[in-house]
Amino acid sequence: MSDIGQSVNQFIVETQRTHSSAADDLTGLLNDVISACKKIANLVNRSSILGLEGYASSNNVQGEHQKKLDILTNDVMVEHLNWTGHLAAMVSEEIDDVITISEDYPKGKYLLCFDPLDGSSNVDINLSVGTIFSVLRCPEGIETPSHEHFLQKGTEQVCAGFCVYGPSTMLILTTGFGVNGFTLDREVGEFMLTHPNMQIPEDTSEFAINMSNQRFWEPPVKRYIDECIQGVDGEREKNFNMRWNASMVAEVYRILTRGGIFMYPLDSRIAKQGGKLRLLYEANPMSFIIEQAGGVSSTGRERIMEIQPESIHQRVPVFLGSKNEVERVVSYHK
């Protein structure tokens, strides 16, 4: 077991030594991603000073109005990772097409999917936001990856992680050997191991969902939430607390530290688009992390990481967190 206070770089190197499947260039890629996240943390922290609050004049590929920081943090990720030689290509929530690696730079054997600033609507009100990323292997023999090469099931992920830019900046990371949390020590500029071997309790009395969408939910979700709200007077015979931050990274971090269930279900308004959250750079990486910490992640009808993606911006419903509560919601869907 790794020591508290160990730097993330030392942790990654020692993990590589212990598990022969971890390659040197994955270590380099992770260090590049972490470096980009440090810069994003600084931009978020100084956004008011730098005049980066508010909306830009553009929409992203999903037609959502972009924050200024959505665009800038996407640029940070691309600029930090384009030239390093560890990636064959990237996809981002903010960009319609595959982000290719310039012909001027060497190409690596990995693909990166990322959401540069999850929960960006929270920036202007000083609440937690974050960055989510997922690493896939580029198929052998492919020098210029296209959409189809990113359409891998979540079970094929090599690594997944996210940063939370809150009261402290946290990095959560899995390479398939458990989940570990690191806190950014700003005095030395390093992420230090503070939360080793994170585990999610199987039971919980806390749920997170956007209640303003209640009238659009499917019957199984309405049933589950009604039971939670009825508390000790209802079928469950215990009280529940509700949380909602409008930031997936904040919700998942809370679940990793004390348990809970996070839900963004299908509803009648978004049924045609398949859900709200994006499979490749939100649902899959978070599902990988949740499962590695002993939790469960599902659409309500199937395990998220077993979905065969059909497009790089595909959306899905998401239920994830403490095992027994997620399985209860799944049973209601059945």
pLDDT digits (tens, 9 = 90+) for 2-36: 578 899 999 998 887 877 655 668 999 999 999 99
Which residue bears the tokens 């023999």?
A: 141
Residue 308: the pLDDT is 98
* Average pLDDT of the residues of the chain: 93
Give the whole-angstrom CA distance, residue 29 versus residue 112: 10
- What is the pLDDT averaged over residues 192-202? 97
Residues with Cβ < 8 Å from 311, sequence gap 6 or more?
Answer: 147, 151
Q: Which of 145, 207, 239, 172 minimizes the C-alpha distance to 30? A: 172
Q: What is the pLDDT of residues 280-316, one digit of tens each?
A: 999 999 999 999 999 999 999 999 999 999 999 999 9
* CA trace torsion 101, 160, 270, 96 (10° rounding): 0
Percent pLDDT > 70 in the chain is 94
Q: Is 282 labelled as part of a ligand binding site?
A: yes
3-class secondary structure, 58 = strand
Give the residue from 195, 136, 162 showing the smallest Cα distance to 11. Answer: 195
Per-residue confidence (pLDDT) for residue 57, from 0 to 100: 58
Contacts with 305 (C-beta within 8 Å, 6 or more apart), sequence order: 153, 154, 155, 157, 284, 287, 288, 291, 297
pLDDT band, very low/low/confident/very high, at 181 (cuts 50, 70, 90):
very high
Number of residues written out for the chain: 334
Question: Is 276 marked as binding a ligand?
Answer: yes
Mean pLDDT confidence for 172-188? 96
Token output for 199 = 């585990």
pLDDT at 68: 86
Confidence of residue 60 (pLDDT cuts 50, 70, 90): low
203 marked as binding residue: no
**From CA 320, how far away is CA 329, in angstroms rounded?**
10
The pLDDT confidence band at residue 107, using thresholds 50, 70 and 90, is very high
Residue 109 marked ligand-binding: no
Question: Quick check: 320 and 286 in contact, CB under 8 A?
Answer: yes
Which pLDDT score is estimated for 314? 98
Contacting residues for 141 by C-beta, under 8 A, at least 6 apart: none
- Using CA atoms, how far residue 321 sits from 164, 214, 248, 278, in Å, is 17, 20, 12, 17
CATH numbers and ranges of domains, the chain: 8-195 (3.30.540.10), 206-333 (3.40.190.80)
What pLDDT was estimated at residue 226? 98
Closest CA to 266 of 194, 218, 308, 302: 218
Cβ neighbours of residue 229 closer than 8 Å, sequence gap 6 or more:
240
Residue 30's CB is within 10 A of a number of other CB atoms, namely 27
pTM of the complete model: 0.94
State which H helix or E strand residue 212 sits in. none
Is 318 strand, coil or helix? strand
247 marked ligand binding residue: no
Position 202 pLDDT exceeds 60: yes
Provide the phi-psi class of 92: left if phi over 0, else alpha when psi is between -120 and 50, else beta.
Answer: beta
118 labeled binding residue: yes
pLDDT at res. 58: 63
Q: Is 53 annotated as a binding residue?
A: no
The CA R_g of the chain, rounded to the nearest whole Å, is 19
E strand residue ranges, the chain: 55-59, 65-67, 87-92, 99-100, 110-118, 129-137, 159-165, 169-174, 180-185, 190-195, 206-208, 241-243, 261-264, 277-278, 296-298, 315-316, 318-321
Q: Answer yes or no: is 226 a known binding residue.
A: no
Would you say 277 is a known binding-site residue? no
pLDDT tens digits along 251-278: 999 999 999 999 999 999 999 999 999 9
180: pLDDT strictly greater than 90: yes
pLDDT of 49 = 85
- For residues 261 and 290, give the distance between their C-alpha atoms in angstroms, rounded to a whole number: 11
| pLDDT bucket at 162, cuts 50 / 70 / 90 | very high
Residue 50: pLDDT band with limits 50, 70, 90: confident
Q: Is 107 annotated as a binding residue?
A: no
* pLDDT above 90 for 169: yes
Q: How far is CA 288 from CA 234, 254, 274, 322, 332, in A?
A: 33, 16, 20, 14, 23
